Amino acid sequence: MNTFMPRMLLLACISLSLILSGCGPKEIEPYQAATEETKPEMATTYPLSYDTLQEEQGSIDEENMASLAEDLPLPEEDDNTPIIEALDAGSGVGEQQLGFGKPDNESTTYKKEHGRSSVQLRPVYFDFDKSNIRNNQIIFIEHNGEYLKSNVASKVLIEGNCDEQGTNEYNLALGERRAMNARKYLIKLGVDSSRIRTISYGEERPLFTGSEESDYAYNRRADFVLE
């Protein structure tokens, strides 16, 4: 019994020491500052400010715009899109064909070339106070005659015009003589007389309203209008 008691006391002391060592303070690791590699990723919180969005998304520069444009659908080409020209009297635009095939009959160039004649025909110009067909105008009246002979169903109205010099009565008579002489020439070329009518406007319908000699010259005219 004397041996048993010392052993029990020894075991009790060993057990108590083990228990006390397990409950003691743990060793704490020394503090280390966080580096870029060890920083945790933070979740983005919205809404962001405009500056923050620029920093995250980057600025939209020309290069970015070019890449965006590559992704955009191109507009479909239309070969039938009418051509629109700027109209400027005296600039020669009247010789251009505008949208839908219609000529610009308001330009100065067109008026000088066609007067008020139908687009297929040409006007004939006269000297001051004259009604005879000038030699340099024969080519145009012959052109009109050839067209009428090739289009036998067409009829034409010849309109005699004058400049504003002289009285209204005189210019009406002069315009009638100009129209009648043009009619006679067409008949001589082989156009049936029943297809030709004449009228005189005298100075009442000036195509050019200026008072320069060039304006007067272009108003001394016979127009050929298809009916």
Helix (H, G, I), strand (E, B) or coil at 43: coil
User: Largest alpha-carbon pair distance within the chain?
Assistant: 170
Task: Fill in the amino acid letter for 35.
Answer: T
C-alpha span between 206 and 208 (Å, rounded): 5
pLDDT digits (tens, 9 = 90+) for 103-130: 566 788 999 999 999 999 999 999 999 9
Q: What is the pLDDT of residue 27?
A: 56
- Closest alpha carbon to 219 in 147, 137, 143, 164: 164
At residue 1, the pLDDT reads: 52
CATH annotation of 120-226? 3.30.1330.60
Per-residue pLDDT reduced to its tens digit, 9-28: 666 666 666 665 555 555 55
* SS3 category, 45: coil
Contact 199, 172 (CB under 8 A): no
Residue of 107 and 45 predicted with greater confidence: 107
For the chain, which residues make up each domain, given as ranges? 120-226
What are 76's two structure tokens?
């479909």
Rounded Cα distance between 110 and 112, Å, is 5
pLDDT, mean of residues 200-210: 95
